[in-house]
């Protein structure tokens, strides 16, 4: 049985693995092409990095997203992708790929805004002519999201078992104390991503998805580039929904939501591993249907 080509193999990847693949491919191309063509090292990345200067940003507004696909060196790439891989494994056990896209790219955007705004309002940064690259803000958003959503979930870190909220607090504090030391812009971007992840998770526990508007925007952009399909001519048949049928649908929806809330409450108190296989399967299916 044929395993298919690269396109087929790529389609089989999870959304996190696809993001990692894209980041690695961009890193390789950004390293090889300028060298082979005899250009400067930043010949490509300069058009996609996020500049701190507002006038420079106006000339490349796409950089609020594209900066996240470029990395300074191999270790920068490796650490970000490693953290994304393990954070996303937990995330995708509960939520859909669509939700991860929301958290990741909204984290990238807010992280970028934190960087630009901070360098234009704090006196210590004024006059600095710099820019930022790296997926750290998006990765941090995904990590802090799961730390805030299931804070008492216990995970294994090297030789120790720790609660997720301890891990999240450690990363946030690490960024805070390192702002005066080095890579101030990078740490500010991390904090922007962390804030997005935390707020998104806390709002979601209250039943509000703050990424809904972003999803609709992505759908609209996707529709612009999607080829139009010819609609087959057919007769439309209208069927009246009875009051009893509508009542049953509403009841089923409420019952399903109550079950989800009960499972999430159990996760919050005892951790994800306390769930039965049936509960994990139900939550996984519910997340995919969102």
3-state helix/strand/coil string of the chain: CCCCCHHHHHHCCCHHHHHHHHHHHHHHHHHHHHHHHCCCCCCCHHHCCEECCHHHHHHCCCHHHHHHHCCCCHHHHHHHHHHHHHHHHHHCCCCCHHHHHHHHHHHHHHHHHHHHHHHHHCHHHCCCCCEECCCHHHHHHHHHHHHHHCCCCEEEECCEEEEHHHHHHHHHHHHHHHCCCCCHHHHHHHHHHHHHHHHHHHHHHCCCCCCHHHHHHHHHHHHHHCCCCCCCCCCCCCCCCCHHHHHHHHHHHHHHHHHHHHHHHHHHHHCHHHCCHHHHHHHHHHHHCC
Average pLDDT, integer, range 159-183? 91
Is there a contact between 172 and 194 (Cβ–Cβ < 8 Å)? yes
Say whether 103 sits in a helix, a strand or coil: helix
Using pLDDT thresholds of 50, 70 and 90, give the confidence band for residue 8.
Answer: confident
Q: So what's the pLDDT on residue 1? A: 44
Is residue 106 a contact partner of residue 211, using CB atoms and an 8 Å limit? yes
**Residue range 198-255, pLDDT digits in tens:** 999 999 999 899 999 998 888 888 888 776 655 555 555 555 555 555 555 555 667 7
**CB burial of residue 166 (10 Å; 0-12, 13-18, 19+):** middle
List all residues 6 or more positions away from 228 whose beta carbon is below 8 Å from its beta carbon. none
pLDDT band at 290 (very low <50, low <70, confident <90, very high): low
Cβ–Cβ under 8 Å, residues 146 and 87: yes
Q: Which pLDDT band holds residue 88 (cuts at 50, 70, 90)?
A: very high
Check whether 287 has a pLDDT greater than 70.
no
pLDDT band at 16 (very low <50, low <70, confident <90, very high): very high
Arithmetic mean of pLDDT over the chain: 86
pLDDT band at 31 (very low <50, low <70, confident <90, very high): very high
The CA distance from 261 to 256, in Å, is 9
Task: Select, from the ranges 5-9, 55-59, 194-198, the one with the highest average predicted confidence (pLDDT).
Answer: 194-198
pLDDT of 158 higher than 90? no
pLDDT: is 117 or 240 the higher one? 117
Cα–Cα dist 272/155, whole Å: 10
Task: Please state the rounded mean pLDDT for residues 282-289.
Answer: 68
How do residues 121-145 score in pLDDT, each as one tens digit?
999 998 888 999 999 999 999 999 9
**Rounded-to-integer distance, Cα 22 and Cα 28, Å:** 10
SS percent in the chain: helix, strand, coil, step 5: 70, 5, 25
Rounded CA gap, 147 and 157, in Å?
14
Query: Is the CB of residue 114 less than 8 Å from the CB of residue 192?
Result: yes
pLDDT band at 189 (very low <50, low <70, confident <90, very high): very high
| C-beta separation of 87 from 43 below 8 A | no
What's the confidence (pLDDT) of residue 261? Answer: 72
């Amino acid at each position: 049985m044929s395993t298919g080509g690269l396109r087929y193999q790529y389609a089989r990847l999870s959304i996190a693995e696809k993001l990692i693949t894209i980041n690695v491919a961009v890193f390789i191309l950004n390293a090889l092409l300028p060298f082979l063509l005899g250009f400067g090292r930043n010949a490509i990345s300069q058009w996609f990095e996020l500049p701190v200067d507002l006038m420079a940003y106006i000339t490349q507004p796409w950089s609020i997203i594209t900066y996240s696909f470029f990395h300074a060196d191999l270790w920068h790439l490796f650490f970000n992708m490693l953290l994304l891989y393990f954070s996303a494994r937990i995330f995708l056990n509960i939520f859909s790929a669509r939700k991860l896209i929301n958290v990741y790219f909204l984290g990238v955007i807010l992280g970028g805004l934190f960087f630009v705004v901070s360098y234009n309002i704090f006196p210590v940064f004024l006059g600095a002519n710099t820019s930022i690259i790296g997926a750290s803000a998006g990765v941090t958003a995904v990590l802090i999201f799961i730390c805030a959503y299931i804070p008492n979930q216990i995970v294994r870190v090297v030789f120790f078992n720790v609660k997720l909220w301890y891990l999240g607090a450690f990363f946030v504090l690490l960024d805070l104390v390192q702002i005066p030391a080095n890579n101030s812009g990078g740490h500010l971007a991390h904090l922007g991503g962390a804030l997005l992840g935390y707020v998104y998770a806390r709002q979601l526990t209250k039943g509000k998805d703050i990424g809904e508007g972003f999803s609709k925007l992505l759908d609209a952009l996707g529709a612009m580039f999607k080829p139009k399909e010819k609609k087959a001519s057919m007769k439309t048949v209208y069927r009246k929904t009875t009051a009893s049928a509508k009542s049953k649908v509403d009841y089923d929806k409420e019952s399903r939501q109550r079950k989800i809330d009960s499972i999430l409450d159990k996760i919050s108190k005892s951790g994800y591993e306390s769930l039965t296989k049936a509960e994990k399967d139900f939550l996984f299916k519910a997340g995919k249907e969102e």
